[in-house]
Amino acid sequence: MDNARRTAALALVKQEQNGYSNLVLAAALERQALSPQDKAFVSALFYGVTERLLTLDWALGRCLAKPLQKLDAPVRAVLRCGLYEAKYMRTPVPAAVNAAVDLCRQLKKASAAGLVNAVLRRAVGLDADRAHFARRAEELSVRYSVGLPIVELLLEQYPDKAERMLASFFEKPPVTLRCNTLRTTPEELCAKLEQEGVKARPLALPGAVEAEFSGSPAATQAFAGGLYHVQGLASQTAALCLEARPGETVLDLCAAPGGKTLLLAQQMGDRGRLLSFDAAKNRLSLIETAARRCGLSCVTVGQADASVYDPALAGADRVLCDVPCSGLGIIAKKPDIRYKSLEGAEDLHALQLKILTNAARYVKEGGRLVYSTCTMDERENQQAVRAFLEHAPKFRLAPPPVVLEGALVRDNMQTMLPGYAGSDGFFVAVLDRA
């Protein structure tokens, strides 16, 4: 277990150098010969510290004579790991403290052992839920370990719902699958998964299945046979709202990793033309591989910048643009997003509007455009759509044909809030061209 703690601490040091948590952890685990149990421990400790970082740092900071950031990076990692173990992993306090002191020595920071011992024994008794804060935003930021810019944004836009959303970021949404309706039914899929030891049940959303995997969802025979792909309910809802039909020409402009493309192809009965694009060349293989696995022949994959007009794509029946966004709706899955500064927001909003405006140029008369994001920020959602409509008189907001239970629908625009809709945070607007 000592090596596991060392691996987690060093990964956290690397993480402070602006690495993506999933990549940092994967690299750390690959370098070490650890047992499955130790790997699970490393993952739990690494992601746990990442999720609770602001809460941990608040408690540690109150027990230090100098700012936490003034300590050496390995010592910060040791303190965070020790406090997380003691407060959230049910490790007895003496054992967690002793392990942290030993870890100091392993990392050649023996001179900090006394400080680590004293600070952890004090910090473990501090509780942010009972502390007084000068501002509501500061309190929520510390309690739920979400950066102030995001907390302030949610309080401004959703004052009565912000705290529930923040709390939901600690709750991982259940794994949901999209049944490949060209090969099976949700009921048949559930039966096949049960045979492989996976609990599964059909959901109210047509074609959706919830499943409980002990390992990777991609490790089953049913997955290898192209009977499903992993896709959140909100993402499924966005694709379903396009209502793609057999024989049509359909564009998916920001497609990688390809979940929506697969669903659209199934809607089309694998008949017609489905052009699936992404700006990142290295992600195109994800879409191609998934389409082959699911036995789809109507999908053509290519590299393209969704903000740049291509006259060859004009005249499409339906266009989906799931644009780059702040990602606030998927914080529960990607803890790095908790601490985004939101700097450069205006540039992002400009890009989103540019993509939406360009996508509209591809839609033929009587066609449909769906705009979606995985965020709750109204500036990226409702405001972007309204700004587009000011200069697009041929388009109108249509009632969403599919509404996820618990979602908010206002002015025909659908918002799925974390903690309320049982899904990631998401936004969908359906725009029909006259």
Q: Give the tens place of pLDDT for each residue, 403-423.
A: 999 999 999 999 999 999 999
**Per the omega criterion (within 30 degrees of 0), is the bond before 74 cis?**
no
pLDDT given for residue 323 in this prediction: 97
Retrieve residue 346's tokens: 């205006």
What CA–CA distance (Å, rounded) separates 403 from 39?
Answer: 40
Contact indicator for 176, 202 with CB cutoff of 8 Å: no
328 backbone φψ class: left, alpha, beta (φ>0; ψ -120 to 50) = alpha
What CA–CA distance (Å, rounded) separates 357 from 251?
Answer: 14
pLDDT given for residue 31 in this prediction: 86
Between the alpha carbon of residue 414 and those of residues 59, 261, 399, 405, 410, the distances in Å are 39, 21, 9, 11, 7
What CA–CA distance (Å, rounded) separates 286 from 105?
Answer: 44
Q: Where are the domains of the chain?
A: 2-129, 134-168, 175-230, 233-433
List all residues 6 or more positions away from 296 whose beta carbon is below 8 Å from its beta carbon: 182, 262, 265, 266, 270, 274
What CA–CA distance (Å, rounded) separates 432 from 420?
Answer: 28
Q: For residue 66, give the amino acid letter.
A: K
Return the CATH fold of 2-129: N-utilizing Substance Protein B Homolog; Chain A (1.10.940)
> What is the CB neighbour count within 10 angstroms for residue 4?
20
What CA–CA distance (Å, rounded) separates 7 from 103?
Answer: 10
Query: What are residue 424's phi and psi, to 5 degrees?
Result: -65, 165
| Ranges of residues in the chain whose predicted pLDDT is under 70 | 1
Q: Which CATH number fits domain 175-230: 3.30.70.1170, 3.40.50.300, 1.20.1250.20, 3.40.1190.20?
A: 3.30.70.1170
Q: For residue 296, give the amino acid letter.
A: L
pLDDT given for residue 22 in this prediction: 87
Return the CATH fold of 233-433: Rossmann fold (3.40.50)
pLDDT given for residue 20 in this prediction: 83
What CA–CA distance (Å, rounded) separates 221 from 194?
Answer: 12
- Tell me the pTM: 0.94
pLDDT given for residue 107 in this prediction: 94
Query: What are residue 45's phi and psi, to 5 degrees?
Result: -70, -45
